[in-house]
Amino acid sequence: MPTFHVVTPHCSYPTVVERGAIGQAAKHIPPKSGKVFVVTTEDVWRHAGAPLQAALRECAYEVLHLPGGEDQKRLAPVEALAEEMVQRGADRSSMVIAYGGGIVTDMAGFLAAIFMRGIPVLQIPTTLLAQVDAAVGGKTGVNLVSGKNLIGSFHQPLAVLIDPAILGSLPEREYRAGLYEVLKAGIIREKELFHYLVANSAGVLAREAAAVDHIIAESVRMKTEVVSGDERENDVRKILNFGHTFGHALEAETHYQRFLHGEAVAWGMQAAVNLGEAMDTFADPDGATMRAMIDAYGPIPSLQGIAPENLLGRLVHDKKTVQGKVHFVLPVRIGEVKLVSGVPEELVMAAIQAALP
């Protein structure tokens, strides 16, 4: 199976997509590395730790636990782990292995980014969402009460090891949440991937190995190309935020407790499709097809009781808002999006309302 490379002005690293890739972990520990810290959650380590434990059986390492849950993705647990690392003798030669879903890969990556001004991190994502998006591309960070990922840093890993076999034990809801990021990849840049998801939804939902491997590889290829073209999100990387501006507002409004990130993005993609139609960004009448596919990979939790005006208010706190202007990634056709700013507030409000029950 394939290896894709992220190549930036500062670094180059492999993103390996392969069944059994976790078994390669020891190979990616630099020869002169000091203490190795596996950062994970108790839950992930209990249920999915075995392959990494086997891969590291010849290595000395220590395990550090983060709390699980998007509402715990805050600065305090990162600081607590940094303290613990110091107590356990960490220094500038230490390294982190991030092992978990997107919350873990973001937080452990951020810990590595700021510990003694930066130590290496090896990313080993264990959920579909982290494999196809969060762990690839070096974005790390934590949430503020005011908004999602408002503290963070770009910190590219030594490598990303993506092992589709680990998804066998992933809860159904987590798996579907990851599928929305795959759908996003199709809508923004990968027409063939989108049509594959349309034609093979049964196999994808049943987690047939060939289907899972294909959708992961295609999403990761796309992501590595985009990040290689624009590491710091000054240009093309912005398209990866399709559905995220609305989705982040939904996550913050529900205190990071009702929706998984991918589910909030699914809702955000619906709202972005609505807004694209209102702004006439579509070159083809593809909106209905996009909506149908987002529904097909659902359902997402209930949206009852969410006030549209609160979501509108939260959009301005998103980090994609620059000098008070909210920028939206809106669809042009399946496989193509564009960045639009200066959208009239009433159209944004209407798009939100149309995506709520």
Residues that bind ligand GLY (CB under 6 A): 133, 137, 139, 233, 237, 240
Smaller CB distance to ligand GLY: residue 18 or 133?
Answer: 133
As a whole number of angstroms, the distance between CA 71 and CA 182 comes to 24
CB nearest ligand GLY: which residue? 240
Please give the helix or strand (H or E) that residue 328 lies within, else none. strand 327-333
Give the 3-state secondary structure of residue 15.
strand
As a whole number of angstroms, the distance between CA 174 and CA 188 comes to 22
Bridge pairing between strands 121-125 and 159-162: parallel
Q: What is the DSSP letter of 325?
A: B
CB of residue 345 vs ligand GLY: minimum separation in angstroms?
A: 25
Q: How many CB atoms lie within 10 A of CB 343?
A: 17
Smaller CB distance to ligand GLY: residue 139 or 258?
Answer: 139
CB of residue 271 vs ligand GLY: minimum separation in angstroms?
A: 18
CB of residue 20 vs ligand GLY: minimum separation in angstroms?
A: 26
Angle at 49 between CA 47 and CA 51, to 5 degrees: 120
Say if residue 331 is preceded by a cis peptide, omega within 30 of 0: no
Smaller CB distance to ligand GLY: residue 223 or 314?
Answer: 223
Smaller CB distance to ligand GLY: residue 119 or 132?
Answer: 132
CB of residue 347 vs ligand GLY: minimum separation in angstroms?
A: 25
Smaller CB distance to ligand GLY: residue 235 or 346?
Answer: 235
The answer to whether residues 147 and 122 touch, using CB atoms and an 8 Å cutoff, is no
CB of residue 50 vs ligand GLY: minimum separation in angstroms?
A: 28
